[in-house]
Structure 1
Amino acid sequence: MSRSNFKRFSSGSKHPDRKSRFPQKSDSSSRGPRRSPPALSSKKRTTLPQLRLLLVWGVLIGAMIGLGVKLYQLQIVQAPELQKKARSQQTVNLRPYIPRRSIIDSQGNVLATDRLVHILYVHPVQFKITKKEVAIKLSSILKDKTPQQLIKQFEQRDTGIPIARDLTEGQATRIDKLRLDGVELNESYARFYPQEKMVSEIIGYVDSDRNGQAGIERSQEKLLERDLLSLYVRRTALGEIVPAFLPKNLLKSNDLRVQLTLDMRIQRAARAALRQQLDKFNAKRGAVIIMDSTDGSLISLVCEPTFDPNQYYKSRIELFKNWTVTDLYEPGSTFKPLNVALALTAGVIQANTIIHDSGSVQVDGWNIYNATKTGHGEINIAEILQTSSNVAMVHMMRRLGRNDYYQRLQQLQINRKTGIDLPGEVGGYLKSEEIFTKRGIEVATASFGQGLSLTPIKLVQLHGALANGGKLVTPHLVRGLVDVDGHLHWKPKHKVTQIMSSNVSQQVVEMMETVVTDGSGKASQILGYRIGGKTGTAQKAGPGGGYLPNVKITSFVAILPVDNPRYVVMTVIDEPKGSNTYGSTVAAPIAKKVIEALISLKGIPPSYSSQYN
């Protein structure tokens, strides 16, 4: 290498294969001194970290704001929904079986209650043996089912055939021991009526869906249904209930029962007396009602024919209604004491007023006769009731103006319901004022209890006003809710209306006593007791107007004791057969037997009156 080449290499770079850090001008273009690169200012060096800090700070603030918004969304906006989801995952809802309240009578006898029953189902598709073999095994336990009947049931469908719905514990145990495939026993609660037919017209029944369909079971549905409890309890992740979270008093149930004013002892006596008379006269139907007039409580209410509420599905549907509150009839002569009370209140008669009974009277071209077709001459008001004179009643009520008479009938609230706590009650029927006052025949027929209609329970309510001093009380069966010790926790309130003076009502009751001692009610006499009464034999109205020939409804109403009136007893026999069928011969004898039971069981003391000594 030449010296000039070495020198050039030395001055350009320390290494021949490496470029200079800063480009230099060639020797040929400039020979001046080198200039250093410009340095970064201090302002630029501090700006960059600040920007980075602001960026990080902004991200953090944004994240915090986002978290805050999300927190608000979860804790405030969506809180109810999320809480609901959490409870559904962490808790379980228990709905224990809540039986209907039991129903008892005034003496504590159970009339209706819930009990455990066994229901037998078969699934023929699952049988491992023949249908005949299954039928033979089951029929040996089900005494009311033959193998042939069971086989016929098996052929209805392949599965889910109900065979028996009310198996005893012993039958269920024996069937379970058979271990038959396709035979299933289910346990369920059902309503049970231990008195069977004895109070069915009052209690009614509950269907398979636990809904009341008649009687108290229907009208008092809300009272009989206990509050349905929902028990929310905690559970573990495995679904196990945590005992510590069960509510307090979980096993303490509401044991209040619905108590009725009914007395089963008197109910049995009344039904026995009624059945005997219905059979004797081959009657269509009958009823007995006993009411305590002091408050309207019903001690007995019997209707025949009736049904078994334990097997309601085997009965005719018309038997489910209580016809003493659903059916209207013309009361006939049993309404006469009420007309006497209206006339006394109006002042058109006195107790000693004399009225001439000629045996017939003509009104608007219509001839009206007494039932005996004979007259009784000059008779007082008590004798009018004794002889049940239609003619004398027409003359008596004519003393009132037609409008006045109509208004006084309205005060009896004939066309209003009594308010009894049974379903299906209907109001009575009284013609409009325009029709009633237009013709004299309307006044005439109403005077002896025809041309107007009411229910048997309404007539009992009206006679109750005669017994209790003129107050219209509400007939009722529900006494209230009682505990196992008989303490009353709740009772219903009933309306009371004064419709006549106590003086007038007592006068009428004393007149009714002469009907029992000297008139058509002698069949109800009981030695030592003062009883007021009134018989009735009324024609039955036909569907197209007019009256049905040779068809009648007989009745008798009694009030006792006369010296301190309290109880009203009414007996009704519908369509008795035979020639000697009147209120005095058909209905009054029933009342006597019922009153005898009432006196004995209620401890009614005898009346010490000279006329009974």
Structure 2
Amino acid sequence: MLRLGSPRRRINIGLIGMTFVLSIFAGRLIQMQGLDSKVYAAAAADQRQHTENIPAKRGSITDVNGHELAVTVEARDVSIDPSKVPEAGRANVAAVLAKHLGKDQQEIAAKLATPNTRYQLLARGVDPVVASRLLQARVPALSAKKTYRRLYPAGDLAGSLVGFVGDEGDGLGGMEQARNSLLAGRDGEMRVETGRDGLRIPMTSSQRTAPVNGRDVRLTIDRDIQWAAQKSIGEQVRESGAESGTVIVMDVRNAQIIAMANSPELDLNDWREAPASSYVNKAAADVFEPGSTNKVITAAAALEAGVVEPHTVFEVPDRIRCADQVLRDAHTHKTESMTFLQAMAQSSNVATIMAAREVGSEGLHKMLKKFGFGTRPGGGVPSAEAGLLPDYREWSGSQSCTVAYGQGVSVTALQMASVYQTIANGGVKIEPQIVAGTTDPSGRFVPAPPGKQTRVVSQTTAKEITAMLESAVGEEGTGQLAAIPGYRVAGKTGTANRYDAELGRYDGYTASFVGFSPADNPRLVVLSVLQNPKNGHFGGQLAAPVFKDVMTFAIKSKKIPPTGSAAPPVRTRAGQ
């Protein structure tokens, strides 16, 4: 007889099993809802909460009169969720997006063909009107985030000085980089709760930290004079076949830089297509041997030491031996008696060496340092370099002579303009200034502090050198093409052998002219430099006309009247 098992036993075993399973679930439930409830609630909130960046508006860069050189305008970053675009409609969507965004249709189509991603950036800095039209075109899963874009209304005006901003909003050159933290401000943020589709959940809380907009920077640059300087140096670079050129205009009384022009110059609206070499502000960064414009420092050292006077007479041959080298004047001539003033006017290398020997290498080196050689200029000019001033104890036998007329020592255009600002300012050097001021958090303009002042030479020495420089622009000088009718002009030509770092040797020339006007009441310094010209190479031939053009425009623009005085008669030749 078949006997069946006890049903009570099976039921008891089943109940025990169910009780065990339910106890596990109950324990887990107690852990989740009781012990770990806050942990899971926080994790859930983190999944829902997202932080959105609120970009700060970047401050403007303007010229001294408030004309905008760099400005920020509202824009949109347009993106799309490719997973929401049906495969059958991708081609049509790509065509619509490409038309409005000005992009390549294949590039857009490639971004849409990534359905495994939820986000694809289509374009940055889109005009809000264009973005609005796209949103009205009912493109699926399209979004437009508020942002800003940088515009440069003046194009290439002071391009390498102003600099530019990259895609991430950081300054990558010039003032944009040098004053980036001030201009950029501080971004804000907003924490919001979103669902799985990325849309904000209605009626949920949010936390917002407001952005702090950037401050404006006002430069000392005058837009009109900057334009004239760029035009003049650009034309001369083309006509002379030079590699590059630079012009600096500086206010004598406060060393504010009114113009800082380079040729070729960087077009800020097309900086991505420009060669990297054009990103550098050559007026402050490029180092070169100055040549005869440096003779004013030798003259200053000799006059300050009392070893010569303007009318000291030298018997000057056209060549002189220095160690193992024979150094020459630019033009051959018989030995002749020259006053020191005449030697400066005619830019005699030999007479300058003779005066430098009276001073000594140590004394000349000290004077070069006092004028700022070998030291990076202050004042906030981006990319400013220190040049090269070797210790006098390391000078070679010939270098102890060539430094006297500007070979064997290297400077920037900014440093050489500063030298002549010092002479024009009665011997007082002022730190060059490029920033006129900035705005404070309330938007109020705050002028920049004046540059540091240092007396370099006596007022008497400065006046004596000014007389020499005025003679250099006179009938017997090398700078006649710099003369301006009705105005007294003081200046100096420079023609130097040019060292080519790529070739590792001297190749070509540096032609320059630097001076100030009115000579008897100096207001403006103008320096012009041309690197490696092919059609001529003398500073008086190539750079002096640029000086004349720019100085004439600047004194008219600044409404600087002629003093009405005539240059006093000076004794230039021995025996007069």
- Residue 502, structure 1, aligned to residue 459, structure 2: yes
- Asked whether the equivalents of residues 255 and 483 of structure 1 are also in contact (C-alpha less than 8 Å), the reply is no
Partner of 2:473: helix, strand, or coil? helix
CA deviation after TM superposition for structure 1 residue 165, in Å: 2.8
- For residues 169 and 358 of structure 2, the distance between their equivalents in structure 1, rounded to whole angstroms, comes to 57
**Structure 1 counterpart of 2:359, one-letter code:** L
- Residue 178, structure 1, aligned to residue 134, structure 2: no
- Asked whether the equivalents of residues 560 and 566 of structure 1 are also in contact (C-alpha less than 8 Å), the reply is yes
1:537 to 1:227, Cα distance in 2 relative to 1, 3 A = same
1:177 to 1:241, Cα distance in 2 relative to 1, 3 A = closer
CA deviation after TM superposition for structure 1 residue 225, in Å: 4.2
In structure 2, the partner of 1:371 is 330
In structure 1, the partner of 2:42 is none
- For residues 203 and 104 of structure 2, the distance between their equivalents in structure 1, rounded to whole angstroms, comes to 49
**Structure 2 counterpart of 1:465, one-letter code:** T
- Residue 588, structure 1, aligned to residue 544, structure 2: yes
- Residue 603, structure 1, aligned to residue 559, structure 2: yes
- For residues 244 and 113 of structure 2, the distance between their equivalents in structure 1, rounded to whole angstroms, comes to 42
1:256 to 1:136, Cα distance in 2 relative to 1, 3 A = closer
In structure 1, the partner of 2:469 is 512
Per-residue CA deviations over 1:130-166 (Å, capped at 9, x if unaligned) read: 4443343344434x54545655676699755544434
1:302 to 1:435, Cα distance in 2 relative to 1, 3 A = same
In structure 2, the partner of 1:284 is 243
- For residues 443 and 177 of structure 1, the distance between their equivalents in structure 2, rounded to whole angstroms, comes to 76
- For residues 386 and 105 of structure 2, the distance between their equivalents in structure 1, rounded to whole angstroms, comes to 53
- For residues 462 and 555 of structure 2, the distance between their equivalents in structure 1, rounded to whole angstroms, comes to 23
1:307 to 1:156, Cα distance in 2 relative to 1, 3 A = farther
- Asked whether the equivalents of residues 254 and 450 of structure 2 are also in contact (C-alpha less than 8 Å), the reply is no
Partner of 1:196: helix, strand, or coil? coil
- Asked whether the equivalents of residues 329 and 455 of structure 1 are also in contact (C-alpha less than 8 Å), the reply is yes
- For residues 503 and 156 of structure 2, the distance between their equivalents in structure 1, rounded to whole angstroms, comes to 36
Alignment of 1:411-422 (within 5 A): 411-422=370-381
- Residue 118, structure 1, aligned to residue 118, structure 2: no
- For residues 360 and 411 of structure 2, the distance between their equivalents in structure 1, rounded to whole angstroms, comes to 23
Alignment of 1:292-311 (within 5 A): 292-311=251-270
CA deviation after TM superposition for structure 1 residue 407, in Å: 2.9
In structure 2, the partner of 1:567 is 524
CA deviation after TM superposition for structure 1 residue 385, in Å: 2.4
1:149 to 1:520, Cα distance in 2 relative to 1, 3 A = farther
CA deviation after TM superposition for structure 1 residue 357, in Å: 2.4
- Asked whether the equivalents of residues 539 and 547 of structure 1 are also in contact (C-alpha less than 8 Å), the reply is no
1:511 to 1:485, Cα distance in 2 relative to 1, 3 A = farther
In structure 1, the partner of 2:40 is none
1:426 to 1:146, Cα distance in 2 relative to 1, 3 A = closer
Q: Which 10-residue stretch deviates more, 468-477 or 172-181?
A: 172-181
In structure 1, the partner of 2:499 is 541
- Asked whether the equivalents of residues 338 and 463 of structure 1 are also in contact (C-alpha less than 8 Å), the reply is no
- For residues 447 and 121 of structure 1, the distance between their equivalents in structure 2, rounded to whole angstroms, comes to 64
1:317 to 1:382, Cα distance in 2 relative to 1, 3 A = same
CA deviation after TM superposition for structure 1 residue 421, in Å: 0.7
In structure 2, the partner of 1:106 is 64
1:500 to 1:187, Cα distance in 2 relative to 1, 3 A = same
- Asked whether the equivalents of residues 509 and 559 of structure 1 are also in contact (C-alpha less than 8 Å), the reply is no
Tell me how large the CA RMSD over aligned residues is.
3.4
- For residues 375 and 145 of structure 1, the distance between their equivalents in structure 2, rounded to whole angstroms, comes to 72
Aligned with 2:221 (options 262, 272, 275): 262
Partner of 1:606: helix, strand, or coil? coil
- Asked whether the equivalents of residues 438 and 448 of structure 2 are also in contact (C-alpha less than 8 Å), the reply is yes
1:309 to 1:442, Cα distance in 2 relative to 1, 3 A = same
1:405 to 1:147, Cα distance in 2 relative to 1, 3 A = closer
- For residues 224 and 500 of structure 1, the distance between their equivalents in structure 2, rounded to whole angstroms, comes to 39
**Structure 1 counterpart of 2:401, one-letter code:** A
Partner of 1:506: helix, strand, or coil? helix
- Asked whether the equivalents of residues 207 and 213 of structure 1 are also in contact (C-alpha less than 8 Å), the reply is yes
- Asked whether the equivalents of residues 70 and 150 of structure 2 are also in contact (C-alpha less than 8 Å), the reply is yes
1:557 to 1:492, Cα distance in 2 relative to 1, 3 A = same
- Asked whether the equivalents of residues 57 and 214 of structure 2 are also in contact (C-alpha less than 8 Å), the reply is no
- For residues 511 and 487 of structure 1, the distance between their equivalents in structure 2, rounded to whole angstroms, comes to 46
**Structure 2 counterpart of 1:589, one-letter code:** P
In structure 2, the partner of 1:338 is 297
**Structure 1 counterpart of 2:539, one-letter code:** G
CA deviation after TM superposition for structure 1 residue 477, in Å: 0.8
**Structure 2 counterpart of 1:470, one-letter code:** G
CA deviation after TM superposition for structure 1 residue 255, in Å: 8.9
Partner of 2:156: helix, strand, or coil? helix
**Structure 2 counterpart of 1:539, one-letter code:** N
- For residues 340 and 421 of structure 2, the distance between their equivalents in structure 1, rounded to whole angstroms, comes to 20
1:517 to 1:227, Cα distance in 2 relative to 1, 3 A = same
- For residues 121 and 262 of structure 2, the distance between their equivalents in structure 1, rounded to whole angstroms, comes to 33
- Asked whether the equivalents of residues 190 and 206 of structure 2 are also in contact (C-alpha less than 8 Å), the reply is no
1:152 to 1:546, Cα distance in 2 relative to 1, 3 A = closer
- Asked whether the equivalents of residues 124 and 131 of structure 1 are also in contact (C-alpha less than 8 Å), the reply is no
CA deviation after TM superposition for structure 1 residue 270, in Å: 0.8
Per-residue CA deviations over 1:453-488 (Å, capped at 9, x if unaligned) read: 111111111111101011121112111124899974
**Structure 2 counterpart of 1:460, one-letter code:** A
1:361 to 1:276, Cα distance in 2 relative to 1, 3 A = same
- For residues 218 and 340 of structure 2, the distance between their equivalents in structure 1, rounded to whole angstroms, comes to 43
In structure 2, the partner of 1:43 is none
CA deviation after TM superposition for structure 1 residue 562, in Å: 0.4
**Structure 1 counterpart of 2:413, one-letter code:** P
- Asked whether the equivalents of residues 183 and 215 of structure 2 are also in contact (C-alpha less than 8 Å), the reply is no
Per-residue CA deviations over 1:468-509 (Å, capped at 9, x if unaligned) read: 011121112111124899974342353211110111112211
Partner of 2:144: helix, strand, or coil? strand
Q: Which 10-residue stretch deviates more, 97-106 or 479-488?
A: 479-488
Q: Normalising to structure 2: TM-score of the pair?
A: 0.79
1:503 to 1:336, Cα distance in 2 relative to 1, 3 A = same
1:376 to 1:468, Cα distance in 2 relative to 1, 3 A = farther
- Asked whether the equivalents of residues 193 and 309 of structure 1 are also in contact (C-alpha less than 8 Å), the reply is yes
- Residue 196, structure 1, aligned to residue 151, structure 2: no
- For residues 398 and 101 of structure 1, the distance between their equivalents in structure 2, rounded to whole angstroms, comes to 54
- Asked whether the equivalents of residues 250 and 259 of structure 2 are also in contact (C-alpha less than 8 Å), the reply is yes
Alignment of 1:366-445 (within 5 A): 366-375=325-334, 377-436=336-395, 439-445=396-402
**Structure 2 counterpart of 1:111, one-letter code:** L
- Asked whether the equivalents of residues 535 and 588 of structure 1 are also in contact (C-alpha less than 8 Å), the reply is yes
- For residues 334 and 342 of structure 1, the distance between their equivalents in structure 2, rounded to whole angstroms, comes to 14
1:593 to 1:544, Cα distance in 2 relative to 1, 3 A = closer
CA deviation after TM superposition for structure 1 residue 422, in Å: 2.7
- For residues 511 and 444 of structure 1, the distance between their equivalents in structure 2, rounded to whole angstroms, comes to 21
- Residue 320, structure 1, aligned to residue 279, structure 2: yes
- For residues 187 and 129 of structure 2, the distance between their equivalents in structure 1, rounded to whole angstroms, comes to 32
- For residues 165 and 343 of structure 1, the distance between their equivalents in structure 2, rounded to whole angstroms, comes to 61
**Structure 1 counterpart of 2:271, one-letter code:** Y
1:429 to 1:135, Cα distance in 2 relative to 1, 3 A = same
1:171 to 1:238, Cα distance in 2 relative to 1, 3 A = closer
1:149 to 1:585, Cα distance in 2 relative to 1, 3 A = farther
Unaligned runs of 5+ in 2: 1-45, 192-201, 569-576
CA deviation after TM superposition for structure 1 residue 238, in Å: 6.2
**Structure 1 counterpart of 2:135, one-letter code:** D
1:122 to 1:231, Cα distance in 2 relative to 1, 3 A = closer
1:488 to 1:165, Cα distance in 2 relative to 1, 3 A = closer
CA deviation after TM superposition for structure 1 residue 598, in Å: 0.5
CA deviation after TM superposition for structure 1 residue 121, in Å: 3.6
1:222 to 1:165, Cα distance in 2 relative to 1, 3 A = closer
- Residue 449, structure 1, aligned to residue 402, structure 2: no
